[in-house]
Chain A
């Protein structure tokens, strides 16, 4: 029987029945957002897991509610490596995302290849925006070759998370911000639990086991002669070698910290802490987000131990407008919104990071824990160089060789000097 010959009342009944099913099931059809007739569509490339993807969706919805001239589509990649590869291949293919969220250490490398548009050209005729609205360090981290290549999304400092129950069990006083390296090592040795040759709980760990930089700074040394486009490697200085030796001895000699391979196998440092397989964790503020779900033990945060002086790493990410974007004006408007007083609370409100925007830092609902706030004064990024993709594997290889016992910290420092300086100066 042809559809047209079905009686009107039967069609009506079918339609009403379908509507009743939908209504009864609680399903709601998404509200159709109305945009201006000449609205432009821009793409925003990001990386992150499900929790992060949810934040990006919230940001887009809030932006759409605030205006109707720009429609934003998010392209999220769970894996950072895959996101970086996608960024370059789409740029090479002439079809880049209009806005790309970038990890800080890669901004110089990609800017040098012409992937991004400098902020100066985007904001040339924009009096509504000023670089003075942001903290100095995050802007410096987005700067390369005397140009700012994007706006800082947020930044992160690190502090020492500790398992209070583990300290109570070992009758140890909780760590304080006055701890020195010896105090940290002593506590880590006491807190490390062994069952024969098996380690049930490590005393301490950090973000990946291959991050000696803050230790070098804490000991009064430097890794490179300067932050941007260094020309010399200073790891062979005695204070730097001493710091490297202490750092790697934690996993190599004292065996109170997991090696990078062990961390990777165990699923990551935050998972290790939540499973009570490590008593202390040196990590950034983002760890507080999953740690809020912990119910099995109490934890707290304190400033990390220091030696000669306080120092820490400043981690950051930013939003960059692609040089190949066909909608640079619209992209710039969205980037300003994302990093402005309306967009920042969406990402910072959960306690994920610290706001790079000065105005957001004053908001009471975005209050930052004292150890992270204090660390802002003495934290800095490690390096900003267009040759980052070339040097990163070399650094990893040499430092891994120390961890696996293939070489000493002193030899690794000498090898890094020998291998990196020609690249820096090429």
Chain B
């Protein structure tokens, strides 16, 4: 072996304990607070356990029960509805905002901060405020609608409007987060490309379609993936504003997991639902990774 490679090998072995030492706190935290609970949850999904009595092994009974549970399918449909509503709307609006705020204008930093404020606000506090805004008889939203001749809408009190109401709140709250990511993506696109396009006479829309859209596609893909994952785990807004109602119309999968685990104390079944959710999110992400070859450009 050449002396320099031997020296590198010795050096690596010498550094190994230090590497382990510096990585240990992070890894121990990950193991104790993430890995261990995940493994425990997988084990729990095969038992019937109500916290008090000893867990009782039931094999795949929980999984069979979930797949035959009409409420499970209802909450999955609700979650799909929420995702289909909030993700495209959220991405479209935040991209539009990012494009508008990606200019050197007076006060643009203030506007960027303003749009980011809901992101850093407490979801519970924001949900409580929006609950009051949505009040059918005296809420501000219905009052504003009445000024343009629209009759009061039962935002959180009717099955038709309850989920759209939750979607609107979620989109408003998450707008700033995606906007900031898009802004970073937009600012990495070389200015020269736009200048060249301008010289060639390309319109704003043409520039957006032929330059911004393809070069922003990696960022768009990232936002799409995290938005879908996040939307499938929606909980706080539902818990505060509607408690899954009216008539389970806003009950999502994570809220259902909470109900099963902490209201009915069926920890085994709740763990099963968690793993089914994981499987769905995993499958969705794999599909997106596959499809991204068709539209995401990393050049």
Contacts and interface: CB of A to CB of B under 8 A. Distances in A.
Interface of A: 81, 85, 88-89, 91-92, 113-115, 196-200, 259-262, 264-266, 389-390, 393, 396-397, 400-401, 403-406
B137 interface: yes
The 10 A-B pairs with the shortest beta carbon distances in the complex, nearest first, are: A92-B51, A261-B157, A400-B247, A113-B52, A401-B247, A197-B151, A389-B264, A404-B246, A261-B246, A404-B247
A397 B264 contact: no
B242 interface: yes
Nearest to B259: A393
Contact of A115 (B52, B138, B262): B52
Contacts of B151: 196-197
Interface string B131-143: 1101111100010
A352 B151 CA distance: 41
Contacts of B71: 397
A91 B51 contact: yes
Interface in B106-146: 131-132, 134-138, 142, 146
A389 B135 CA distance: 30
Nearest to B142: A198
Contact of A197 (B51, B152, B245): B152
A91 B52 contact: yes
Nearest to A201: B137
B53 A113 contact: yes
A200 B135 CA distance: 12
A199 B52 contact: no
B205 to A, nearest CB: 42
Contacts of A264: 243
Contacts of A400: 245-248
A266 B135 contact: yes
19 contacts: A88-B52, A92-B52, A115-B52, A198-B138, A200-B137, A259-B157, A260-B246, A261-B154, A261-B158, A265-B134, A265-B135, A265-B136, A266-B137, A389-B265, A393-B259, A400-B247, A403-B246, A404-B157, A404-B159
A397 B256 CA distance: 13
B41 interface: no
B264 to A, nearest CB: 5
A260 B244 CA distance: 13
Majority SS at the chain A contact face: helix
Contacts of A265: 131-132, 134-136, 156-157
A302 to B, nearest CB: 27
A393 B263 contact: yes
A396 B262 CA distance: 17
Interface residues of B, number: 34
Interface string B250-270: 000000000100111100000
Contact of B137 (A89, A91, A199, A393): A199
Nearest to B143: A198
A364 to B, nearest CB: 43
A262 B131 CA distance: 11
B50 interface: yes
Contact of A114 (B53, B134, B158): B53
Nearest to B260: A393
A106 B237 CA distance: 27
A85 B262 contact: yes
Nearest to B159: A404
A81 B246 contact: no
Given A114-B52, A404-B157, 15 more contacts: A92-B52, A113-B50, A197-B151, A198-B137, A198-B138, A198-B152, A200-B137, A261-B157, A261-B242, A266-B135, A393-B259, A396-B245, A397-B247, A397-B248, A406-B247
